[in-house]
Structure 1
Amino acid sequence: MSAATGTTWAVVVNDEEQHSVWPADSAPPAGWRTLGFTGSRDACLTRIAAEWTDLRPAGLRRRMGAA
């Protein structure tokens, strides 16, 4: 999928709290949901960088916190 100029992107997240971008005019793939933020690809990546600061999957974070 190209990062065509003019494409609106959405920030999506899965159950492990991993973030990605997805074309806003398409439904996210199974297991992913939108977070309500859309914009240019760069704007979405900037938003992800600000919010997703711990890149470990949620399940790993839970297991490490329980240890």
Structure 2
Amino acid sequence: MNDERRYRVVVNDEDQYSMWPADLELPAGWRAEGFEGTRQECAARVDEVWTDMRPAGLRRRMDAAVG
């Protein structure tokens, strides 16, 4: 399947990443991360920046329990 669409990398308040078609309005709770490209390029960007899959709230609670 040849996907010609442009996508943008998006992130939510829990620092969870995804990609969304660039020509569509973003869903509630998501903001553009700043990268736009092909589906493959956006997937590579998500892999590059989303290194800790835990939601931000969980990371904060775990850090507080340790500290």
Q: Fold conserved (TM > 0.5)?
A: yes
- The alpha carbon displacement at 1:62 in A equals 0.3
- The alpha carbon displacement at 1:5 in A equals 1.7
Distance in 2, matches of 1:62 and 1:26, equals: 32
Q: CA 1:4 to 1:22, structure 2 compared with 1: closer, same or farther past 3 Å? A: farther
- The alpha carbon displacement at 1:27 in A equals 1.4
Larger of the two Rg values belongs to structure = 2
> Could you tell me which residue of structure 2 aligns to residue 55 of structure 1?
53
Correspondence 1:39 to 2:34:
no
User: With structure 2 as the length reference, what TM-score do the two structures score?
Assistant: 0.92
- The counterpart of 1:23, out of the listed 21, 27, 33, is 21
Distance in 1, matches of 2:4 and 2:36, equals: 12
- The alpha carbon displacement at 1:4 in A equals 5.6
Unaligned runs of 5+ in 1: none
- The alpha carbon displacement at 1:38 in A equals 0.5
Give identity over the alignment, percent: 57
Unaligned runs of 5+ in 2: none
The CA RMSD measured in Å over matched residues stands at 1.2
Task: Say whether the 8 Å CA contact 2:3–2:39 is kept in structure 1.
Answer: no
Q: How many residues align?
A: 65
Q: CA 1:4 to 1:33, structure 2 compared with 1: closer, same or farther past 3 Å? A: farther
User: With structure 1 as the length reference, what TM-score do the two structures score?
Assistant: 0.92
